[in-house]
Structure 1
Amino acid sequence: MPTGLGCTPPLAPALLPLSCRLRAGTPGAPLLVLLHGAGSDETSLWPVARPLPRGWNVVLVRAPRPMPRGGFFWYPVHFRRRGVHVDADQVEAALVRLAEFLDRLPQLCRFDAGRVVLAGFSQGAALASALALRQPYRVTGVGMLSGRLLSSVQASSLTSGLLPRLRFFIGHGLHDRVLPMALAVQATRWLRSHGVRVTARAYDAGHEATPAMVAGLTHWLQALASEVPGSKQPGLQRPG
């Protein structure tokens, strides 16, 4: 485990729907929720949070399902000749649990509900984008590193008039053999066609979050926080 995280020890799932680590920032500051990829844990995305101003509230979330060889995952994924197969019911269960977790966050820290960002790597990026597209009132932006949009979620998001308020950062490796670069191109086109503002960057990388990719995301995060004015609200708000 990396040292010097500056976060709490893992907060037990007995208290929350998911285990997490928290770096509490200034009350009313932005909130960043980080979702790791399959096979790792919540500490793997600390490099994304470390360069951010100390005032940011940061939550590093651990996926609920342990893998036999170590690490955790959000939902099962099967790689087949015709592409990646994901069980839609398992995704729905993961989204419900993540939404319940977000509902509890105002109990942990006081953040600006108008500046909430979800970001993740690979499977974590897919889940972050899925939640934002399903419930865009919850977030301001989404950071996707080596991720993809889930087709089942895209189909169910077409009627949402709130999608244009979202901002996305998409960072993807040109040599990614797990989730090919074509998926990032498709995601960018789909999001832009539905009014979402997208910053898309390609990197000389495989299926990984390289330092350059992480730097691109953190720069985008800081610019987004400056662009979107603070709402001074204490927690997540649903539309009336």
Structure 2
Amino acid sequence: MSIDSYIHAALPGSPGSPLFFLFHGTGGDERQLVSLGRELLPSAAIVSPRGDVSEFGAARFFRRTGEGVYDMDDLALRTKKMAAFIRAHRNVTKPSAVIGLGYSNGANILASVVFAEPELFDAAVLMHPLIPFQPEIDGDLAGKRVLITAGRHDPICPPNLTSRLEAYLRAAAADVTVEWHEGGHEIRPNEIEAAKRFFSAYAARTGA
């Protein structure tokens, strides 16, 4: 799989910096999270792919048959493709660390890649993920850093499923932090601040 297997935005980073993958939500594109990525890790090299599945014209990373009902065969295929894309960029960049951040559908594909190939990422931020299935983790999540952010009144990602995902990850020995707000599916300032704290060690490492 090549580094160009997805349409994507790419921004260079400082020497020795992390490689930062960003995954947009349904209906977004490769530019949706770039400014946030730069805010969180100014020195990182950024790669932000555009989902290659169209749902009535809205870009997504995998198919679904209804709200919260995933086409699991398609998810498996898209996860394999995304993992290969990430690996190709890792091999070219040879970064100090590989970090991922995804929102909504982007958080879901990021989580699926982490489950399938935990070694690809050093840390991941999952903003409003919805994982309505029991993950099968193929590898070792011990010590992997994961931040989950969520709304207590999110109509798309119910809080009980967020808590269940947290429990899955903790049971797999991941280092999990959860940041809640009292709203819905929107990203709120406390989530951004939590992500900044989460990434602070990587920012310090590169002098950002």
TM-score bracket for the superposition, by shorter chain length = 0.7 to 0.9
- Show structure 2 runs of 5+ residues with no match: none
Does the 8 A contact of 1:48 with 1:215 survive in 2?
A: no
Q: TM-score, normalised by structure 1?
A: 0.77
Could you report, residue by residue, the CA deviation over 1:200-231 in whole angstroms, capped at 9, with x for unpaired residues? 010122112223322322331223x269x89x
1:102 maps to 2:86: yes
CA distance in 2, matches of 1:194, 1:96: 21
1:191 maps to 2:169: yes
Q: CA deviation at 1:23?
A: 1.2
CA distance in 2, matches of 1:205, 1:78: 26
1:33 maps to 2:21: yes
Q: TM-score, normalised by structure 2?
A: 0.88
Equivalent residues in 2 for 1:228-239 (5 A)? none
SS state at 1:16 partner: coil
Could you report, residue by residue, the CA deviation over 1:130-161 in whole angstroms, capped at 9, with x for unpaired residues? 11121111111111001033525x1x21x63x
Q: 1:104 to 1:15 in 2, by over 3 A?
A: closer
Instruction: State the partner residue of 1:50.
Output: 38
Identity of aligned residues (%): 21
| Alignment root-mean-square deviation, CA | 2.4
Instruction: State the partner residue of 1:200.
Output: 178
Question: Which amino acid in structure 1 is aligned with residue 34 of structure 2?
Answer: W
CA distance in 2, matches of 1:26, 1:86: 38
- Show structure 1 runs of 5+ residues with no match: 1-12, 231-240
**Structure number with bigger Rg:** 1
CA distance in 2, matches of 1:45, 1:64: 17
Could you report, residue by residue, the CA deviation over 1:20-45 in whole angstroms, capped at 9, with x for unpaired residues? 11111013211110111111112221
Q: 1:98 to 1:15 in 2, by over 3 A?
A: closer
Q: CA deviation at 1:55?
A: 1.9
